[in-house]
Structure 1
Amino acid sequence: MNPSPAIRKVFQGVASRQQMFRMFDRHAQRPNRWDGDAAPLYTGEWFEIIEAEHDYMFEILPPLWIRGAMFAMREFLTGSVTSVFFALRIDGVIRHFHGYCDLSDKGAVERMRVAIIERESRPVCAMTRDERLEHIWSTTAADYRGYAGDRWPEAARGRRTITLYDGQTGSTLKLLDDLTDDEIAAKLPVQLRHLPSPIAA
């Protein structure tokens, strides 16, 4: 529907407990929630959490499995997709992450582990355009994000939308993917607005 199943960072920074629980189901508002296969929406999403939340999730239920510094949740989100939690040493520091992996794909967990380490080992803090859009989606309150419905052209229906506010024209609804660079900057926290892209890094 919107995101591809590629491995992707969906939040910049370290998520609090409240943010973590919100991001566990970033697509709850999608139309036809109970129809079709939702696995492609979630598979590959990851974000950083604090150690206390990693340990909290470990203690909720016995894990489905533990492999070194990784464990998988016993309860599946959809189909064969479940939460996998990582404790990874990056630049000499242990950091903690949550990701959604499709366990029917035998290599999915290892590919995510490698992708997280590669992404977080960059020498310069940077964000791709897609990461900026995902961060905006993750941090926007449910009342201000949604999905294009019947009033939109057929090609746009089901795509993610964001409410923008302009002091002159008021509130407008726009497709998330169609935000301009200026609109993206306005929706990001100040500390993220001027980060370079990885290409420039």
Structure 2
Amino acid sequence: MTLSPIRKIYQGVSDRRQMFRVFDRHAQRPNRFEGDAGSLYAGEWFEVGRIEHDYMLDILPPLWMRGEMFALREFLTDSITSVFYTLRIDGRPRSFHGYCDLNVARSPVELRDAIVERESWPVKAMTHGERLEHIWSATHDEYRGYAGERWLPEHRSKRTVLYYGGRQGTTLKLLEDLTEDEIAAKLPVHLRNLPERIAA
């Protein structure tokens, strides 16, 4: 399962409970303890509250601090660690968390620039990919998982979610195969009618 390089994975400001859930949203992946999972995490980012940002700064001395960002000392994988940002966007300070590959020299700066560019859109909107990532991040572990041996070989290890289809009952579907109506039904009400922005 390979994901795109830089992606927003949760809409809105996450509280502490949601922040910790999103930190390891790939915990149920198959073969969790085999191989390097860096590509699953590198480039993922989401907004956190200022209190959550400061809480993470106070847990341990950071690995490093540079202007508006600091990196956690504990690594998620070989070279992937959490980087927290405080960025001024549209005249107000906001806080963000992202996973950066510190083997890539400009990774924290490139992620910062991507966050600023994304959060500076003139119209509040979501891409199709952001809708799917939000659904995955917001769905409880009991209702999401990975396609196993009962699926066709080309679908194994892809992400799945349970979808309640009314009279049709509950169905296990590939996340990527959700229809626009199914996506809208799984999004919170305040996100359902946002226009879709076409990813560049």
Partner of 2:18: 19
Shift of 1:57: 0.2
Partner of 1:47: 46
1:2–1:159 Cα contact (<8 Å) kept:
no
CA shift digits 1:126-179 (9 cap, x unpaired): 000000000000000100000000000000000000001122121110000011
Measured in 2, the distance between the counterparts of 1:119 and 1:84 equals 17
Measured in 1, the distance between the counterparts of 2:166 and 2:67 equals 52
Partner of 1:98: 97
1:2/1:137 CA distance change after superposition, 3 Å: farther
1:147/1:199 CA distance change after superposition, 3 Å: closer
| SS of match in other structure, 1:3 | coil
Partner of 2:165: 166
Measured in 2, the distance between the counterparts of 1:39 and 1:196 equals 31
Measured in 1, the distance between the counterparts of 2:171 and 2:50 equals 39
1:2–1:160 Cα contact (<8 Å) kept:
no
User: Which residue identity does 1:126 align to in structure 2?
Assistant: A
| SS of match in other structure, 2:81 | strand
TM-score by length of 2: 0.98
Shift of 1:2: 4.3
Partner of 2:3: 3
| SS of match in other structure, 1:63 | coil
Measured in 2, the distance between the counterparts of 1:90 and 1:159 equals 35
| SS of match in other structure, 1:125 | coil
CA-based RMSD: 1.0
User: Which residue identity does 2:170 align to in structure 1?
Assistant: S
1:9–1:131 Cα contact (<8 Å) kept:
yes
User: Which residue identity does 1:3 align to in structure 2?
Assistant: L
Partner of 2:71: 72
Shift of 1:3: 2.1
Instruction: Name the % identity.
Output: 65
1:161–1:173 Cα contact (<8 Å) kept:
yes
Q: Which structure 1 residue ranges, 4+ long, deviate > 4 Å from structure 2?
A: none
Which consecutive residues of structure 1, in runs of 5 or more, have no partner in the other structure? none
2:128–2:197 Cα contact (<8 Å) kept:
no
TM-score by length of 1: 0.97
User: Which residue identity does 1:41 align to in structure 2?
Assistant: L
| SS of match in other structure, 2:76 | strand
CA shift digits 1:39-68 (9 cap, x unpaired): 000000000000000000000000000001
Q: Does 1:144 align with 2:143?
A: yes
CA shift digits 1:161-199 (9 cap, x unpaired): 000112212111000001110000000001101111224
| SS of match in other structure, 1:114 | helix
Count of residue pairs brought into register by the alignment: 199
Partner of 1:187: 186
1:2/1:145 CA distance change after superposition, 3 Å: farther
